[in-house]
Amino acid sequence: MAKRRKSDRSDSDQRQRKVRIARPAGRPFQVRYFCQKENREIRVSVGSRDESDAQKLLAEIKAKLLLGLDVRPNTDKTCGPDMLWEHFREEYRKHHLSTLRDNTVCDIECRLDLAERIMKPKTLGDLGQPEVLLRLQTRLLNGEESRRKMPRSSHTVRGYIASVLAALNWAYELRWLPDRPQIKKIKTSKQKVMKGRPISEAEFRRMLDSTPDVVGPAAAASWRFILRGLWNSALRIDELMHVSWDKPGTIRPVWLTDKSPLLEIPASMQKNDTEQTIPLLPWFEDVLLEVEQEQRTGWVFSPASLQSKLGRGARHSRPKADWVARIISRIGKAAGIVVEEADAKTGRPEKYASAHDLRRSCGERLRNSGVPPLLICRVMRHSSWETTRRHYAPGDVQNEAETLRRILRDEDVAGQS
């Protein structure tokens, strides 16, 4: 019994001494340690995702533990301009960001982390002053903390500042700041909205031909099936990976007797959190009907593991949508399809065809096929045609010019007769 107690005491001491850095997804790094007094793991936020900041806090906490000092910072979360910035971030995360989608939360957290690394605010009020926001905007434009060590575009900085202002305005609405934070919006050029472009049918065939080089011959058929699904469905990659034949809570095709087929989309899969049923595109229906009747169960799209390219078995089951998107971008690069040129000013490299460009391509093909704009808008699930036009179906200027000339010439001929 004595040996067991000694062993237990040794294990407890080891747990107490073990101080480590945790990197939770979508959140700032944390330093964690086991507190013997409270008999639980204590988590102290680093306040950023900077590795050097995490290492500094790790060393500080280790030293305090050795000296028997209180490790945790002041836990007084008095709300107002003087509240610790770290405490504000926790409140914003708990009460506001928790209501948003994971991808949106990750983007906002990254932008706030960036502002935090540049300005190093101690309190909420430190970042809520107009002159501080102006300095932040200038330093962002100059490329401070940029991965490419190059100036950022005005469009990028405008988006970053918008996320910071949104957080500070949330604090103002709760009366934690005396004045609404304001800054003059940075001027941006009227450039195209799309970060990419629709690709042509010839380019899409090149992607299909390049697929075996990226995923291996054994997995090529399943990955080509994914590409054709994106090309013909107008779905986003995360949505396509949630298309099933019979799973509740997923996107499902529905064939009705003596009626046109539909696509049911649950609210959880929609950006606007609204359940919706849209027409099933005939192109997409043809892809789905290639699957034999007896195999129509479970997920529709299950791309094979790339381990087969190396002659190894799959390490995981069905891949996640973000990983599938990365592989599709590799295929676009292997096919040499550039959808956005490099920017020498900001150091942004060339962008190759991606999963979202295939969605754009479907919207463009619908427009070129003469589908009415409002119907395209419904299939793309946008609130307005302007959104669809700007982001997905800008149209072909050459085709529009030819249409215009044909109409006007027909009018001239009719007038002369």
Provide the residue ranges of all domains of the chain, joining segments of one domain with +.
14-67, 85-173, 201-309+316-397
Q: Give the DSSP letter of residue 243.
A: B
More confident residue, 190 or 316: 316
Q: Closest Cα to residue 195, out of 155, 158, 164? A: 155
* pTM confidence score: 0.67
Q: What is the mean pLDDT of residues 319-341?
A: 94
83-99 pLDDT, tens digit per residue, is: 999 889 989 988 999 88
42-67 pLDDT, tens digit per residue, is: 888 887 788 888 898 889 888 888 88
Q: Copy the structure tokens of residue 357.
A: 């460009």
Three-class SS of residue 44?
A: strand
User: How many whole angstroms separate alpha carbon 211 and alpha carbon 328?
Assistant: 9
Q: What is residue 312's predicted lDDT score, i.e. its pLDDT? A: 67
> Residue 127 pLDDT > 90, yes or no?
yes
Q: What is residue 26's predicted lDDT score, i.e. its pLDDT? A: 63
Q: Closest Cα to residue 127, out of 145, 106, 144, 113? A: 113
Question: 125 falls in which pLDDT band (50, 70, 90)?
Answer: very high
Share of residues in the chain with pLDDT > 90 (%) = 47
Question: 409 falls in which pLDDT band (50, 70, 90)?
Answer: low
Q: What is residue 289's predicted lDDT score, i.e. its pLDDT? A: 95
Q: What is the mean pLDDT of residues 185-201?
A: 74
Q: Copy the structure tokens of residue 153.
A: 């575009």
Is residue 156 within 8 Å of 110, Cβ to Cβ? no
Sheet holding 276-279: strands in order across? 252-254, 262-265, 276-279
Q: What is the mean pLDDT of residues 189-215?
A: 86
Q: What is the mean pLDDT of residues 221-247?
A: 95
User: How many whole angstroms separate alpha carbon 312 and alpha carbon 166?
Assistant: 48
Share of residues in the chain with pLDDT > 70 (%) = 82
Q: What is the mean pLDDT of residues 161-184?
A: 94
User: How many whole angstroms separate alpha carbon 85 and alpha carbon 167?
Assistant: 12
Question: For 261, phi and psi rounded to 5 degrees?
Answer: -70, 155
CATH no. of 201-309+316-397 = 1.10.443.10
Q: What is residue 49's predicted lDDT score, i.e. its pLDDT? A: 80
- Range from 11-15, 111-115, 259-263 carrying the lowest mean pLDDT: 11-15
Q: What is residue 316's predicted lDDT score, i.e. its pLDDT? A: 67
Q: How far apart are the first and last CA of the chain?
A: 113
Query: C-alpha angle with apex 90: 33 to 14, nearest 5 degrees?
Result: 5
Return the top range by mean pLDDT from 37-41, 359-363, 371-375. Answer: 359-363
